[in-house]
Amino acid sequence: MDAPNLNQPESRTSTYKATGVDTAKEERGMQKVVEWASQTFSYCASAAVRLPIGYFANVLQITPEIGIAISTDGVGTKILVAEQLNRFDTIGIDCIAMNANDILCVGARPISMVDYIAVQRLRPEFLAEVGAGLQEGARQAGISIPGGEIAQVPEMIRGVREGGGMDLVGTCIGLVHPESINTGRNVKPGDVVVGLPSSGLHSNGFTLARKALLDKGGMSLGDFVPTLGRTLGEELLEPTRIYVKAVFQLMDNGVEPKALIHITSDGFLNLARVDAPVGFRLDHVPQPAPIFDLIQLKGGISAPEMYTVFNMGTGFCIVVSPTEVDRALQLLRNAGEKPFVVGEATEDRAKAIVLTKQRIRGRDEAFELIDN
């Protein structure tokens, strides 16, 4: 596959902002909500909020020994692909994964999730498929689904098929000892970043992916793509991987991760969420899977944009001390993973993320090319 010309005029390229998703404006808008939400922290004295808003999950301290981690997330516009294909048996796995993986990042063990399904029109066969996906995701994560909500809101929900619009969101909780909350505050320069592979796009960047592949690229979801070994639709619906088993293979065997990072939207920029005043130099970022090359080629998307929007083949990162790298890699292999060393933490209070082979640097909201 030929590489796209990354220097072409912006009018010919696809960017997330051009699709209507302005992540910078979203971040500014979020801060307005955070200002109000933060004022509620004192409203329930029996469940102290342990973290500021903005990490992957928060923790409520119930007793000196019990903390409840909590997070919420949805599947996003990946649902539109499911609607187009009229196949809904995998998006429940995505919903579980996006929530359970975030709960892991504070060092908590996910235990339960409730879901909210909003539909344009109730269809029992469609709901049965969604339920099957939720059950499989729960099995993989080792959690229960003790309840949820289904709302029929035709005035609000519109899909790509008549009457087929829907949204799927979950709220997950986990358990963590209050003294074991992990936000990466102990990461030091020289600590090693271990990556775990993604299964593809997971559940982020689908607005840009659909624009690049279907609109600009003129492809169809039913197209068989030789480099993918299956149809485009099958590739895009590949479920998000759930990393609960792998992470607890480490923690249950005495390896203490310095930080746990779910690589979602913003890609490797998520590493900068750690509390410690460090940056990261990633010398060994693996070659992305063919789906990412296809999106970049069809959309004419620059490398910095690709690494800002997509996980690019790495779905989760674990930071460990140099003395524990070999043991961590072996334990992860024992859990069925294919781990790889990505890079290391650096002394950098500006918290830059540098991908050396790709010659890009990220800080704050986006990656950019490194000048010679």
316-350 residue pLDDT tens: 999 999 999 999 999 999 999 999 999 999 999 99
Map residue 369 onto helix, strand or coil.
strand
DSSP state of 201: S
Residues 6+ apart with CB under 8 A from 86: 161, 164
Residue 1 predicted with pLDDT over 50? no
Task: Compute the radius of gyration of the chain from its Cα atoms.
Answer: 20
Pairwise CA distance, residues 341 & 106, whole Å: 21
Pairwise CA distance, residues 223 & 233, whole Å: 8
Pairwise CA distance, residues 213 & 217, whole Å: 5
Domain 44-180 has CATH 3.80.10.10: no
Residue ranges, CATH 3.30.1330.10, the chain:
44-180
How long is the chain? 372
Neighbours of 63 (CB within 10 A): 8
CA atoms within 13 A on the CB side of 166: 28
Q: Is the full-model pTM beyond 0.85?
A: yes
260-287 residue pLDDT tens: 999 999 999 999 999 999 999 999 999 9
* Average of per-residue pLDDT values in the chain: 93
Per-residue pLDDT, averaged over 282-306, amounts to 97
Pairwise CA distance, residues 290 & 177, whole Å: 41
Residue 18 predicted with pLDDT over 70? no
Residue 5 predicted with pLDDT over 90? no
Residue 6 predicted with pLDDT over 50? no
Map residue 161 onto helix, strand or coil.
coil
Across 33-37, 236-240, 308-312, least confident range? 33-37
Q: Could you give the C-alpha distances from 267 to 34, 141, 145, 256, 367, in angstroms and in order? A: 22, 22, 29, 24, 10
- CB contact at 8 A, 275 and 345: no
Pairwise CA distance, residues 56 & 36, whole Å: 19
Residue ranges, CATH 3.90.650.10, the chain:
184-369
Residue 66 predicted with pLDDT over 60? yes
184-369 adopts what CATH topology? Phosphoribosyl-aminoimidazole Synthetase; Chain A, domain 2 (3.90.650)
Residue 142 predicted with pLDDT over 80? yes
Residue 200 predicted with pLDDT over 50? yes
Pairwise CA distance, residues 22 & 366, whole Å: 12
